[in-house]
Structure 1
């Protein structure tokens, strides 16, 4: 079959020059329409209250520290103790991988797993710790959004809050229950593995022995209730400290016309937008959601834009830059030859 040149050429609106022209037109229109807000935001960013900026940086560092301590509590509860400085370094490095690379969550999870294995955790404990920390973090954000939504009377009711809390606890309980009874996963996992082996043209029982070994390791995972409860508290504190950073950024640029509860609602909307990995770091998506939320909460467009830019400079620029530096140090130490202190 011969395809003519006219048929093979894409439509004019699919050609790169046309796409670029449309993008430039949209950005130019937005720039013209929002020029006054942008100019006001730039003016506010030139003269921030530096004491509040310093407080925002401290709050963001504390937020990262609570996430590291949450993961440490889960790992310690499973019987593996690692110094907190290593957990903090892992939190920074893994967060940077997740936020900046295309498909970052996959690279971040793999890096997290390999590092926990190097710290002495078994494959099962490392996998369980990563899965449960993600569940607790997501559940904490949902509960925080529900609580402050009720406080502002913008959504839901106390019944909705109880439902959200019950759902989050149920998911965490199921993860813990599967860790205690991993044999429930053997049959479906073997069936899935056999199907994958068939597609890859390998023997049907390939990998079954490793799967059985992993299940045996998972049976030894037992987390003390006190460590689990402490991890839940830290998961909530992680989000609230990050929201505190945003609030301090608002004050730093002179935007004080928003109630803390409304700010947290705007923050939760921005973090929910960040969960959709359209672009690395949620650039543009998270910023837009935060600005819209802050404006809906009572701030002017200029003040909201200035506060979000400052917040992103700290939470994305400073934290991600630090994380990549930590990742380079960890990579160098992991590759150090024997006999050299790592």
Structure 2
């Protein structure tokens, strides 16, 4: 029996627990929402279409903002790409992430492949993927802290300063590595020697990979101007999405509190990172409905209708546009695609193999 089969046999009960939890969530949501569905339907039949158009427009601005983040980060690595190409990849990858099982894996692989097509080195492509995720997460953290401050929570400005300082530290660290590769190389050599000694490996093992990474990182330099633009577009990306949620509320006749909107949005996005179902369907909707009621002051019927409009735009419409973009621009495979996908898997594989090596007995894998 292989290690993977053994793991599956040991944790057979997990899928049943998840299934029961999802069933419980569905039943609870149905019990909670059923008495309010009539009122929610009435709100939807009296919808304000001008606000729906604004909702769609704000979502388009949010997606464009993420495209700008990607474009600026690639520019720091010496890769020039147009905004149209960048945002097209954002739509295509988002369509995959929202609709496919394990969509985030397909989405990341697709984005990596396209970035490599544009001429980025493997390390620049990987760096861009990591940094864009970090920047987006930092933007969400800043937004949630701002929402808590506006709501009067005892958060204090310290957490906001810490969050912004962490982002600035990441940018500084990236630039320092790019501008002082010799210093970093010496430090990494000492660390690698120590790790190899502990693991009883040859002293210089792995140093060729470190040299390769450092040489490629010299081409990545996120200057102050690019860094400022990345931060700016990160906030545009998040604030436009909040505005999309707000427009959805106004479309059904609600009058939400700004701080509550920020908190409801942050809660929905946080729950959406749990990979239980494509697009976080059902549990993200339930979170949005509860959060709009608890934080933004919406009656339950309006919260249901607003969440429906918001998800119709940010989930269904974006997924449809993403797959249309993919069908027209990216459906046709190219000769180097298989090599890029294999390369991406190989760049992820060492982490998995290292974990297995550290946990398996010395007799080796089964």
Report the TM-score when normalising by structure 1: 0.81
Q: Which position in structure 2 is the counterpart of 1:289? A: 287
Q: Distance in 1 between matches of 2:112 and 2:94?
A: 13
Aligned residues: 318
Q: Which position in structure 2 is the counterpart of 1:91? A: 90
Coordinate RMSD, CA, aligned: 3.3
In the TM superposition, what whole-angstrom CA distance separates every residue of 1:133-174 from its partner, at most 9, and x where no partner exists?
111111111011111211211240112221222233323433
Alpha carbons 1:132, 1:175 under 8 Å: kept: no
Aligned with 2:238: secondary structure?
A: helix
Aligned: 1:301 with 2:300: yes
Shift in Å at residue 189 of structure 1?
Answer: 7.4
In the TM superposition, what whole-angstrom CA distance separates every residue of 1:290-319 from its partner, at most 9, and x where no partner exists?
111110121111100100011000000000
Q: Which position in structure 1 is the counterpart of 2:268? A: 270
Report the TM-score when normalising by structure 2: 0.76
* Counterparts of residues 201-212 of structure 1 (less than 5 Å): 209=208, 212=211
Quickly say closer, same or farther: Cα 1:169–1:103, change in 2 above 3 A: farther
Q: Distance in 2 between matches of 1:165 and 1:21?
A: 40
Quickly say closer, same or farther: Cα 1:303–1:118, change in 2 above 3 A: same
* Counterparts of residues 113-192 of structure 1 (less than 5 Å): 113-180=112-179, 181=181, 183=185
* Counterparts of residues 1-342 of structure 1 (less than 5 Å): 27=26, 30-180=29-179, 181=181, 183=185, 209=208, 212-256=211-255, 258-296=256-294, 297-335=296-334
Aligned with 1:67: secondary structure?
A: helix
Aligned with 1:34: secondary structure?
A: helix
Quickly say closer, same or farther: Cα 1:31–1:289, change in 2 above 3 A: closer
Alpha carbons 2:76, 2:223 under 8 Å: kept: yes
Structure 1 residue runs without a partner (length 5+): 1-12, 338-342
Q: Distance in 2 between matches of 1:213 and 1:20?
A: 45
Comparing 35-44 with 130-139, greater Cα deviation is found at: 35-44
Shift in Å at residue 186 of structure 1?
Answer: 6.4
Comparing 33-42 with 325-334, greater Cα deviation is found at: 325-334
Q: Distance in 2 between matches of 1:285 and 1:185?
A: 44
Aligned with 2:314: secondary structure?
A: helix
Quickly say closer, same or farther: Cα 1:320–1:178, change in 2 above 3 A: farther
In the TM superposition, what whole-angstrom CA distance separates every residue of 1:232-278 from its partner, at most 9, and x where no partner exists?
1100110100010000000001112x211211111111111112222
Comparing 316-325 with 182-191, greater Cα deviation is found at: 182-191
Alpha carbons 2:25, 2:283 under 8 Å: kept: no
Q: Distance in 2 between matches of 1:14 and 1:165?
A: 38
Q: Distance in 2 between matches of 1:189 and 1:276?
A: 34
In the TM superposition, what whole-angstrom CA distance separates every residue of 1:170-219 from its partner, at most 9, and x where no partner exists?
234334444554635567679999x9xx9xxxx99998756643432122
Q: Distance in 1 between matches of 2:104 and 2:120?
A: 21
